[in-house]
Structure 1
Amino acid sequence: MKHLIIGTAGHVNHGKTALVKAMTGVDTDRLKEEKERGISIELGFTALKLPGGPKYGIVDVPGNERFIKNMLAGAGGFDLVLLVVAADEGVMPQTREHLDIIQLLQVKKGVIVLTKADLVDEEWVDLVKEEVRDFLKGTVLEDAPLVTVSAVAGQGIDNLLELLERVAEDTPAKTTAGPPRLPVDRVFSVTGFGTVVTGTLVAGEIRVGDSVEVQPQGLITRVRSLQSHGEKVEFVVAGQRVAANLAGLEVEQISRGSVVAGVNSLKSSYHLDVHLSLLKSAAKPLKNRARVRFYLGSGQALGRVVLLDREELEPGAMAFAQIVMEDRTVAVKGNRFVIRSYSPMRTIGGGVVIDPAPERRHKRFRSEVLKALETWERGTPAEILEQYLRGNPVLPELADAAAGTGLQVSETEELAQQLALQGKVKIVPGDGKAYLMLTEVYRRMAGELQQMLESYHREYPLREGYPKEELRYRKFPVLNNKAFQFLIETMENDQLVRCTAQAVASRSFVSEPGPEMNLIIDKIRKELAEASFQPPAWSELTAAAGLSKSAGSELLRYLLRTGELKKVGENLYFLDETLNTASRVIAGFLHQKGEMTIGELRDLLQTSRKYALPLLGYFDKERITRRLGDKRLPGKALG
């Protein structure tokens, strides 16, 4: 079943709400003030069942110029528009502004409805029709069908419904593929249920029980229940009006303009790269860094327009720009938007989002920036993915790349595989996911990493390699630990580096002492062997060998790692073979006696209490012995 949203547009008091009531039987003016003043102030919602059976949502918007922001909150979800013009007045200021908005949002399907036909004669209606046709020339509604009605008398309503059904058949539905996006146009609380948001689902599907994320607030929540046109449903799809009951959130945490989306499917940003068009009717050129009111989806925000290739944009002209927002906002590539002047508030332009979350502010008058934006806007999906990775060289996950490019996850995965086969993209697997990087960036990083490792090995020849966490901090500070591990593992699989649990090394590197250091090691080993169970402190050994404190520390780290030395106490180290001898002596004694005191160990090893006590502590840890009061019993390692 196809789902569409039909929206109204037109000047105040031209009969939009009366027309909706004549078509549906529902008065969409729900506020007391609207009833008293006889004008729409807020958005109105209902459903329309057409003669052939299809049922579509209707959004009725206010026409008064003071409430254009409310009109814009609804227009972002339109699939088809009813442009309403009163036959007794013809084209008026908000008719023009609403058509500008429809043009900027590229709502290409619609019906022109001349209302209040009962107030004028046929000759006058013909004059108004001619005026409207001239008014629509060169716009998306130039060829839209036109019908004359009187909502009060019921004249022409049946004709309108039949015509609307034919136009709706030719109107494409929103895509249900990909993550859901629900721009919020109302937030309220229902006693016993909690927070409810409403809006037009513009992409994807939502099911009861789904986890979703409210952006730009970054709030994770769960969908408790769903309604569409007052009926409880288990799921909704793009093109439907939706009321969603969200768990665990307060009304104050969400606002009109928030977006309920798939978890991690949208990234909020203070910047948007756009292709901007200034209306021919704009009163003056738009200067660089002009402050504007920015409207996207159901939201509005303040921002400044940074023109990237000129100082000002002339009426009727187009240019690449970056909108620097005053608050975080969310968008997807291809979203259409509208801008209004800060003061006085007039619709002056709009355009399309090219990059919804650029990594940085762009420098102006840079050919490479403009070329990149052209690729973003007009490039093939493969070129767009490459461009995204060029601007995001820090290993984005495939799903993030899909969200950042506006492509579907399945499409992004297929493109990544194709580009990998062409040698353009490197796929880094990990934790059941795929991370992406341009092959040229991957190779450059690997080359730089190899140089860092060679330098490190020359400085620290006794270490097994560059400590992983230190390497991540110095070379890949923007990567979290998981992504870094996946990248390093991929480089090891490609035989570019070699990894241990704690370090990274060059493939050819062997950690070993040089000839001079080997002589020092032999000397220290001999002294420790002769000292047996009464070894000198390590600092004394290295000082006697002529090593500096740092060189002594390096050597100690090496001997501990290779297992030649074992730490028994603070500044107290034994040869591994000496400890093995002690272990055999202790095992034999315990086999015969069943228990041992510190004094007995001291006598057995011909040492002093100074060494016997830490040795027993060491053998307790190794489970050779087990302490019971002042005595030692056989440990688990002895069976």
Structure 2
Amino acid sequence: MINKPQVVIGTAGHIDHGKTSIVKLLTGTNTDTLKEEKSRGMTIDIGFAYLNNEITIIDVPGHERFIRNMVAGISTINIALIIVSADDGLMPQTHEHIEILHLLNIKHAIVVITKADKVENNIIDLVENEIKGRIQNTNFYNAKILRTSAKNNVGIDLLKKEIINLSENVEKIVDRGFFYMPIDRVFSKTGFGTIATGTVLSGKLKSNSEIIILPEQNNATVRSFQTHGETTETIKAGDRAAINFSSVEQTKLKRGSVLAIKNQIAPTSKIIVNIKMIENNNWMIKDKQLVHIHIGTSQVIAKVITFGIKILPGQSANVLLDLNNDISPLCDQRFIVRSISPMETIAGGKVLDNNPKFSKKDLKKNIQKIETDNSKRFLQSINRFWKKPLSIEGWSKFFNVSKNQILKWVNRNKVLVIDSIIYSSESLNKSKKEIIKKVEEFHKNNKYKKSISKEELLISLEFDKKWLEFVTNEMKNEIVIYESGYGLKNNKIDLSEVDLLIANEIESSLIDSGFDLLSSLRVYDKNQKKALNILYLLKDSEKVVQIDSDLWMHMNNYNILKYLLGRYFTKHTKLSVPEFKKMISVTRKNAIPILEFCDKIKFTTRVDNYRVKGEKLNAELSSS
């Protein structure tokens, strides 16, 4: 079983420069496995070989026609093996492959000059200088350059030693906290069924696990694994793996599909990305231009939405990609952009948002402000979602990273965490101001009410409920928190002499009405709006009770109702509607809303067509 982290090496270079021969000398494996490849003497599809138990070599095609296979192969590598023939030097596909490696942010490389036996040393010196000049502005500018000859078996041992040494120091894949593996090959084997291969980019997976195939969203069960030709119970980030499935048809899998744990990542047809154009070409990208996107092991056509700007050679910009097919990319995943016709590599990019939630108007206004650095983008996103902050787990899924990575960003950006909810000082202050503004507006328009209901404020602000509760608890010097709502601490309700007279008249009417429920119009028919406002004021003063939307009872009668119910249930276990009507001397018109109110406040509980004693009745009676 393989325990050490594995390293994946990918070849790159022009056709016929000896990539496959070098791999065979290093590993003993001929990676040209297809009949068509052997007959043509060139690699068409991706081939695989093992240098040792920890190192896999991926051999990719050098022919321009098969560049998509090449990108699929090197999208998951740790080290590039750039092959340059001594007798040809740098050729068109060599230049393009080097550019692709740089755009995919491959940081480690070894340059192998092949066929050294065919030319004089002074010619090789020129080729080596040419190579140094070509890679000086890449991520792998300090790559070692080695001279080899497959014919004379020269330099192969030194190359093998250098590969092993570099593999010991290479940056390993950062685990995102969940299993994710792009598929680069699918085949069927007699006695086993469907098998898919790829490099595990994140997480771990055990045999017999349930996974999902994306973007198709087909469920699958893993039967067994192999890595480096050995059966294993677990595969992990960095491993080259072959996965055998239980009862999954080969047609349900393809290169470009992704294997992942459920509920971690979703298919999408739109992604926000940052694109960086290659400097030394004549290509530019215009609004709504069609391009090929090579991301992971998948290839799709995308319409580039630039919102009117042109991206010229050497320039970078944030854009929206509208894809012709769903994909399931990771945030901050690198990709390659190629033109539709003629097919040329014109740019590289990075995914900034793999599930955009912007409106078109907001996206046009803000797309260029989106940070490319993920830590800064994290802080941006916290302030963007200030009304509904996410938890540590929520942000982990949003950015497709581990919870530990989120906590590192929390510390780096000096943001705050409460009950696992992440927020910034900016989002807290903004929320406080918005609450004050809404409550002030409410008091201005409802001068007789002491508080806005929690539900109304929540809907008005469009806040997350938990966030509203937290913020208002932080505002006790400015906000009064009532049982049913919120009011400003400095808000005063001053009734005029006329209003006081109306309030007294309303109270008298409700006392006299007993259990005959009155509406605002019936208690004061001269001005229904004023009557309703004063009723709410009396409710806040606990002088009246609101039975239904506009049906009212005086507190004195409410206390009598409570007493009558308590007395009834000392002798009986259930109460019917006719018995209730008789008890409080009302018609069904009043009995039903009063009973429903009693159910609501848990004085009673409805069971079929009867009421039984509710859990709150005893507590209310004992506190009276």
Q: Per the shorter chain, which TM-score range?
A: 0.7 to 0.9
2:13 touches 2:84 (CA, 8 Å); kept in 1?
yes
1:337 touches 1:350 (CA, 8 Å); kept in 2?
yes
Distance apart, 1:619 and its partner CA: 11
User: 1:362/1:257 Cα in 2 relative to 1: closer, same or farther (>3 Å)?
Assistant: farther
Partner of 2:300: 301
Partner of 1:322: 319
2: CA distance between counterparts of 1:247 and 1:463?
65
The answer as to 2:428 corresponding to 1:442 is yes
User: 1:454/1:340 Cα in 2 relative to 1: closer, same or farther (>3 Å)?
Assistant: same
2: CA distance between counterparts of 1:626 and 1:308?
60
The answer as to 2:148 corresponding to 1:161 is no
Distance apart, 1:347 and its partner CA: 1.6
TM-score normalised to the size of structure 2? 0.77
1:211 touches 1:223 (CA, 8 Å); kept in 2?
yes
Post-superposition Cα deviations, 1:261-315, rounded to whole Å, max 9, x if no partner, equal 56666575724342513141x244555654322223222233355669974513x
1:453 to 401, 419, 439: 439
Distance apart, 1:412 and its partner CA: 3.7
User: 1:611/1:345 Cα in 2 relative to 1: closer, same or farther (>3 Å)?
Assistant: closer
2: CA distance between counterparts of 1:617 and 1:194?
66
Partner of 2:382: 389
2: CA distance between counterparts of 1:593 and 1:237?
67
Aligned residues: 604
Distance apart, 1:68 and its partner CA: 0.5
Distance apart, 1:14 and its partner CA: 3.6
Distance apart, 1:4 and its partner CA: 0.7
Report sequence identity in percent.
25
2: CA distance between counterparts of 1:633 and 1:319?
71
Post-superposition Cα deviations, 1:159-203, rounded to whole Å, max 9, x if no partner, equal 442343233334332234655543332356789988764321234
Partner of 1:342: 340
1: CA distance between counterparts of 2:353 and 2:605?
66
1:213 touches 1:263 (CA, 8 Å); kept in 2?
yes
Partner of 1:523: 505
Partner of 1:274: 274
1: CA distance between counterparts of 2:578 and 2:252?
71
The answer as to 2:131 corresponding to 1:131 is no
1: CA distance between counterparts of 2:595 and 2:431?
47
Distance apart, 1:74 and its partner CA: 1.2
1:413 to 388, 407, 411: 407
Once structures 1 and 2 are overlaid, which stretch shifts more, 347-356 or 295-304? 347-356
Post-superposition Cα deviations, 1:414-455, rounded to whole Å, max 9, x if no partner, equal 5535755xxxx454x34xx2222x423432332132121122
The answer as to 2:556 corresponding to 1:577 is yes
User: 1:507/1:171 Cα in 2 relative to 1: closer, same or farther (>3 Å)?
Assistant: same
SS at 2:167 equivalent: helix
Name stretches of at least 5 consecutive residues in structure 1 with no aligned partner.
none
Structure-to-structure mapping, 1:187-226, within 5 angstroms: 187=186, 197-208=196-207, 225-226=224-225
2:72 touches 2:298 (CA, 8 Å); kept in 1?
yes
Once structures 1 and 2 are overlaid, which stretch shifts more, 176-185 or 304-313? 304-313
SS at 2:51 equivalent: strand
Write the letter of the residue equivalent to 1:459.
Answer: N
Distance apart, 1:558 and its partner CA: 6.0
Distance apart, 1:466 and its partner CA: 2.7
Distance apart, 1:458 and its partner CA: 3.1
Partner of 1:9: 12
Post-superposition Cα deviations, 1:111-168, rounded to whole Å, max 9, x if no partner, equal 3345566xxx5545763564354244230366423232327x7665444423432333
Once structures 1 and 2 are overlaid, which stretch shifts more, 340-349 or 90-99? 90-99
SS at 1:145 equivalent: strand
2: CA distance between counterparts of 1:5 and 1:414?
28
2: CA distance between counterparts of 1:405 and 1:25?
41
User: 1:463/1:254 Cα in 2 relative to 1: closer, same or farther (>3 Å)?
Assistant: farther
Partner of 2:231: 232
User: 1:572/1:99 Cα in 2 relative to 1: closer, same or farther (>3 Å)?
Assistant: closer
1: CA distance between counterparts of 2:611 and 2:427?
60
User: 1:547/1:391 Cα in 2 relative to 1: closer, same or farther (>3 Å)?
Assistant: closer
Partner of 1:291: 290
2:284 touches 2:311 (CA, 8 Å); kept in 1?
yes
SS at 1:293 equivalent: strand
1:309 touches 1:320 (CA, 8 Å); kept in 2?
no
User: 1:468/1:103 Cα in 2 relative to 1: closer, same or farther (>3 Å)?
Assistant: same
Write the letter of the residue equivalent to 1:20.
Answer: V
Distance apart, 1:62 and its partner CA: 1.7
Partner of 2:181: 182
2: CA distance between counterparts of 1:625 and 1:157?
85
2: CA distance between counterparts of 1:634 and 1:78?
70
1:133 touches 1:142 (CA, 8 Å); kept in 2?
no
Structure-to-structure mapping, 1:218-617, within 5 angstroms: 225-244=224-243, 255-260=254-259, 270-274=270-274, 276-280=276-280, 282-287=281-286, 290-305=289-304, 311-314=310-313, 317-327=314-324, 335-352=333-350, 360=358, 372=369, 376-377=372-373, 381=375, 383=376, 385-394=378-387, 395-401=389-395, 409-416=403-410, 420=414, 425=415, 427=417, 429-430=418-419, 433-436=420-423, 438-463=424-449, 465-476=451-462, 479=463, 483-495=464-476, 496-500=478-482, 502-509=484-491, 516-532=498-514, 535=516, 537-538=518-519, 541-544=522-525, 546-548=526-528, 550-554=529-533, 564-565=543-544, 574-578=553-557, 580-581=559-560
Root mean square deviation, CA, Å: 5.0
Name stretches of at least 5 consecutive residues in structure 2 with no aligned partner.
none
The answer as to 2:77 corresponding to 1:97 is no
Write the letter of the residue equivalent to 1:228.
Answer: T
1:601 touches 1:612 (CA, 8 Å); kept in 2?
no
1: CA distance between counterparts of 2:173 and 2:568?
83
User: 1:453/1:623 Cα in 2 relative to 1: closer, same or farther (>3 Å)?
Assistant: closer
User: 1:492/1:167 Cα in 2 relative to 1: closer, same or farther (>3 Å)?
Assistant: closer
Write the letter of the residue equivalent to 1:74.
Answer: G
User: 1:464/1:567 Cα in 2 relative to 1: closer, same or farther (>3 Å)?
Assistant: closer
2: CA distance between counterparts of 1:312 and 1:538?
67
Partner of 2:55: 56
Once structures 1 and 2 are overlaid, which stretch shifts more, 568-577 or 162-171? 568-577
Write the letter of the residue equivalent to 1:80.
Answer: I
1: CA distance between counterparts of 2:402 and 2:605?
62
2: CA distance between counterparts of 1:86 and 1:593?
100
Once structures 1 and 2 are overlaid, which stretch shifts more, 57-66 or 129-138? 129-138
Distance apart, 1:612 and its partner CA: 9.6
SS at 1:295 equivalent: strand
SS at 1:137 equivalent: helix
2: CA distance between counterparts of 1:184 and 1:71?
14
